């Protein structure tokens, strides 16, 4: 039952943490810039506790140690995402994309909207691997790696174009982002992304079947579930799945001036 329990926990943590961050951002968004900054500062314990938990769990391959590593990586990731969604750490470009922009300039402008955020994620990923490589419990760094590469893939797919884009959850601080998305039936990267994520999930499952210790079984079950969820988020970009309903009830009622969904689907976080 351990793999199933780990998978259910991964699913719950993914759903709850996403909803909690969205709720915090939405309420802060309504209160203004000062509230956004306060929200990010109040969230600092997430990354501090996450960093300590990651370090503490490196040589602890028990079931408890694996859960601490997994949750610690999510804590570090969650604070960085919170800083991004509040507009605190984004990029130098805060303007909407002008019409008829050449493709090369469109990419540069899109990069400019989230450059600082991406550099922070890359720095965190490198730091976790530098600290974690060679230790018994590497599930924290692999958890962060799955989140990182899945998120980069999702952002590139949104840039290249997908048929279902949801901007309902984007705060006012990121109101310029949808202008860099593209509404398109399919792009060349999507099959590569889904194939890579499917292969990664299969690799984690193969490891899950091969290992014997309870800690390793738990760790690979968590990674398998997390990668499968990342794969599902990609498919939601093209399939008519109203995933926004998973969190809608947690959020404040939308303002009458709030931007409408382009076609429903992926929340683009």
Cβ atoms of residues 73 and 54 within 8 Å? yes
| pLDDT at residue 245, as a whole number | 81
Task: Look at residue 168 and tell me whether its pLDDT is greater than 90.
Answer: no
SS3 label, residue 139: helix
Of residues 2 and 232, the one with the higher pLDDT is 232
- So what's the pLDDT on residue 247? 85
Model pLDDT for residues 49-106, shown as the tens digit of each residue: 999 999 999 999 999 999 999 999 999 999 999 999 999 999 999 999 999 999 999 9
DSSP assignment string, the chain: -HHHHHHHHHHHHHHHHHHHHHHHHHHHHHH-HHHHHHHHHHTHHHHHHHHHHHHHHTT--SHHHHHHHHHHHHHHHHHHHHHHHTTSS--S--SPPPTT--HHHHHHHHHHHHHHHHHHHHHHHHHHHHHHTTSS--HHHHHHHHHHHHHHHHHHHHHH-BS-B--TT--GGGTTGGGG--B-S--THHHHHHHHHHHHHHHHHHHHHH--SHHHHHHHHHHHHHHHHHHHHHHTTTS---TTHHHHTTSPPPPTTSPPPSSS-B---
Is the pLDDT at 266 greater than 70, yes or no?
A: no
pLDDT value of residue 256: 53
Q: What is the pLDDT of residues 213-247, one digit of tens each?
A: 999 999 999 999 999 999 999 999 999 887 778 88
Query: What does the pLDDT read at residue 3?
Result: 92
Q: Kind and range of the H or E element at 144?
A: helix 139-160
């Amino acid at each position: 039952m351990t793999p199933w329990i780990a998978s259910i926990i991964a699913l719950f943590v993914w759903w709850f943490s996403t909803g909690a961050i969205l709720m915090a951002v939405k309420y802060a968004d309504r209160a203004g810039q000062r509230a956004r900054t306060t929200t990010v500062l109040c969230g600092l314990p997430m990354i501090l506790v996450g960093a300590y938990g990651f370090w503490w769990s490196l040589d602890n391959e028990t079931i408890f140690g694996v859960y601490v590593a997994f949750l610690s990586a999510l804590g570090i990731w969650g604070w960085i995402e919170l800083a991004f969604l509040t507009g605190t750490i984004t990029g130098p470009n805060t303007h909407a994309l002008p019409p008829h922009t050449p493709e090369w300039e469109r990419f540069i402008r899109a990069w400019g909207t989230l450059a600082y955020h991406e550099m922070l994620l890359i720095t965190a990923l490198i730091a976790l691997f530098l600290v974690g490589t060679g230790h018994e419990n590497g599930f924290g760094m692999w958890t962060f790696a799955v989140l990182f590469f899945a998120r980069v893939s999702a952002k590139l797919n949104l840039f290249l174009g997908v048929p279902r884009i949801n901007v309902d959850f984007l705060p006012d601080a990121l109101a310029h982002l949808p202008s860099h998305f593209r509404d398109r039936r399919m792009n060349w990267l999507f099959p590569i992304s889904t194939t890579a994520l499917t292969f990664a999930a299969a690799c984690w499952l193969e490891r899950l079947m091969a290992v014997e210790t309870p800690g390793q079984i738990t760790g690979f079950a968590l990674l398998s579930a997390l990668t499968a969820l990342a794969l599902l988020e990609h498919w939601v970009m093209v399939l008519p799945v109203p995933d926004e309903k998973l969190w809608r009830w947690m959020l404040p009622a939308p303002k009458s001036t709030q931007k409408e969904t382009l076609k429903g689907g992926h929340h683009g976080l």
